[in-house]
Amino acid sequence: MNEKTVITARDLKKYYTVKEGMFFKTSATLKALDGASFTITAGKTFSVVGESGCGKSTLARLITMIERPTSGDFEVDGINAVTSGLHAMKALREKVQIVFQDPYGSLNPRKKVGSILEEPLKINTDLTKVQRREKSLAMMEKVGLSPEHYARYPHMFSGGQRQRIAVARALMLNPALVVADEPVSALDVSVQAQALNLLMDLQDEMNLAYLFISHDLSVVRLISDEVMVMYLGRPVEQGEKNTIFDNPLHPYTMALLAATPHVDKNARKDRIRLSGEIPSPLNPPPGCTFHQRCAHMTDICKESAPELRLVADRMVSCHHAEKFC
pTM, entire model: 0.92
Q: What is the DSSP letter of 186?
A: T
Mean pLDDT, rounded, for 93-101: 92
What's the pLDDT score for residue 3? 81
Centroid of chain to Cα 58: 9
Is residue 85 over pLDDT 70?
A: yes
pLDDT in tens, 214-271: 988 989 999 999 999 999 999 999 999 999 999 999 999 999 998 776 555 555 556 6
Mean pLDDT, rounded, for 295-305: 93
pLDDT in tens, 149-184: 999 999 999 999 999 999 999 999 999 999 999 988
DSSP of 31-71 = EEEEEEEEEEETT-EEEEE-STTSSHHHHHHHHTTSS--SE
Cα separation, 219 vs 212, in Å, equals: 10
What's the pLDDT score for residue 1? 43
Confidence band for 103, pLDDT divided at 50, 70 and 90 = confident
What's the pLDDT score for residue 26? 76
What's the pLDDT score for residue 21? 67
Cα separation, 213 vs 231, in Å, equals: 14
What's the pLDDT score for residue 268? 53
What's the pLDDT score for residue 23? 66
Kindly state the percentage of the chain with pLDDT values over 90. 74
Is residue 135 over pLDDT 80?
A: yes
Confidence band for 272, pLDDT divided at 50, 70 and 90 = confident
Mean pLDDT, rounded, for 125-136: 95
In terms of Cβ atoms closer than 10 Å to its own Cβ (0-12, 13-18, 19+), residue 251 is buried
Cα separation, 186 vs 168, in Å, equals: 18
Q: What is the average pLDDT score of the chain? A: 91
Q: What is the DSSP letter of 280?
A: P
Cα separation, 142 vs 255, in Å, equals: 39
Confidence band for 286, pLDDT divided at 50, 70 and 90 = very high
Q: Please report, in angstroms and rounded to a whole number, the separation of the first and last CA atoms in the chain.
A: 32
Alpha carbon of 212 to those of 3, 17, 110, 269: distances in Å? Answer: 19, 28, 29, 25
Is residue 199 over pLDDT 60?
A: yes
Mean pLDDT, rounded, for 103-129: 93
